[in-house]
A and B are shown apart, each in its own frame.
Chain A
Amino acid sequence: MSALSLAGSVRSGERSARSIVEEHLAVIADAEGEINAFNLVTADAALDRADRIDGVVAQGGDSGPLAGVPVALKDNMCTRGVPTTCGSRILDGWRPPYDATVVERLDAAGAVIIGKTNMDEFAMGSSTENSAFGPTLNPRDTTRVPGGSSGGSAAAVAAGFTPLSLGSDTGGSIRQPAALCGVVGVKPTYGAVSRYGLVAFASSLDQIGPFARNVADAALLLEVVAGHDPLDSTSIPAAAPDLLGVLDRGVEGLRVGIIEEISGSGPTGLEGFAPDVQARLAEAAEALAAAGAVVEKASVPSTVFGLSAYYVIAPAEASSNLARFDGVRFGLRVDADNTVDMNTATRTAGFGDEVKRRIMLGTYALSAGYYDAYYGKSQKVRTLIVEDFARAYQSFDLLLSPTAPTTAFPIGEKVDDPMLMYLNDVCTIPSNLAGHPAMSVPFGVGDDGLPVGVQVLAPANGEPSMFRAAAVLEAVAGGPTGAMP
Chain B
Amino acid sequence: MTSETTSEMDGWEVVIGLEVHAELATATKLFSGARNEFGGEPNTHVDPVSLGLPGSLPVLNEKAVELAIRVGLALNCSVQASEFARKNYFYPDMPKDFQISQFDQPINGEGWLELPDGRRIGIERAHLEEDTGKSTHVGGGGRIHEASYSLVDYNRAGVPLIEIVGKPDLRSGEDARAYVSELRAILVAIGASDGKMEEGSMRVDCNVSVRPVGEDELGTRCEVKNINSLRSLGRAVTYESRRQVDLIASGQKVEQQTRHWNEEDGRTHTLRSKEEAFDYRYFPEPDLVPVAPSAEWIDEIRAAMPLLPGERRNRLAEEAGVQPAAAALSVERGLDDLALAAMDLDADPARVLVHVENNLADGQGALTADAFAALVAMETGGDLTATQAKTVLADLVDSGGDPASLAASHGFEAMGTSELEGLVDGLIAEHPDDWEAFVGGDEGERKKKSGFFVGQIMKATRGQADGRVVNEILERRAGNA
Contacts and interface: CB of A to CB of B under 8 A. Distances in A.
B57 A233 contact: yes
B191 to A, nearest CB: 26
B54 A84 contact: yes
Contact of B283 (A78, A338, A375): A375
Nearest to A230: B59
A338 B286 contact: no
A367 B55 contact: no
A234 interface: yes
Interface in B7-56: 48, 51-56
Given A317-B286, A339-B92, A231 B54 contact: no
A278 B88 CA distance: 44
Interface stretch (B142-150, B304-312, B385-393): B142-150
Contacts of A366: 88, 281-283
A317 B98 CA distance: 11
Interface in A89-116: 91, 94, 96-98, 100
A265 interface: no
Interface residues of B, number: 34
A344 B98 CA distance: 16
Interface in B54-97: 54-60, 86, 88, 90, 92, 95-97
Contacts of B286: 202-204, 234, 317
Contacts of A339: 92, 144, 147, 150
A317 B287 CA distance: 10
Given A328-B152, A338-B146, A340-B144, A96 B53 contact: yes
Interface string A46-87: 000000000000000000000000000000111000001010
Interface string B262-305: 00000000000000000101110011110000000000000000
A250 to B, nearest CB: 37
Interface in A141-176: none
Contact of B55 (A198, A230, A317, A338): A198
A233 B283 contact: no
Q: Which of A231, A325, A330 has the most CB of B within 10 A?
A: A231
Q: Which of B48, B59, B98, B286 has the most CB of A within 10 A?
A: B286
Given A339-B144, A340-B144, A343-B90, A329 B95 contact: yes
A198 to B, nearest CB: 6
B48 A91 contact: no
Contacts of B51: 329
Nearest to A363: B281
A324 B95 contact: yes
B281 to A, nearest CB: 4
A96 B86 contact: no
A232 B56 CA distance: 9
Contacts of B289: 233-234
Contacts, number: 110
B283 A200 contact: no
A234 B287 contact: yes
Contacts of A256: none
Nearest to A232: B57
Interface residues of A, number: 46
A77 B147 CA distance: 36
A319 B140 CA distance: 31
A80 to B, nearest CB: 11
Given A326-B90, A338-B146, A363-B281, A233 B60 contact: yes
Given A323-B88, A338-B144, A338-B146, A96 B55 contact: yes
Nearest to B59: A233
A77 B92 contact: no
Nearest to A330: B53
Interface string B139-164: 01000111100101000000000000
Contacts of B88: 319-320, 323, 366
A29 to B, nearest CB: 30
Contacts of A91: 54
Contacts of A187: none
Contact of A97 (B53, B95, B97, B144): B53
A256 to B, nearest CB: 32
Given A77-B55, A233-B288, A368 B145 contact: no
Nearest to A202: B286
B145 A338 contact: yes
A316 interface: yes
Given A320-B86, A367-B281, A231 B53 contact: no
Contacts of A202: 286
Nearest to B49: A231
A199 interface: yes
B98 A78 contact: no
Q: Which of B56, B98, B283, B288 has the most CB of A within 10 A?
A: B283
A195 interface: yes
A96 B51 CA distance: 12
A330 B154 CA distance: 14
Nearest to B88: A320
A211 interface: no
B55 A199 contact: yes
Nearest to B288: A233
A231 B59 contact: yes
7 contacts: A97-B53, A195-B57, A200-B54, A203-B287, A233-B57, A320-B86, A320-B98
A-B residue pairs, 4 tightest by C-beta: A323-B97, A366-B281, A204-B286, A203-B286
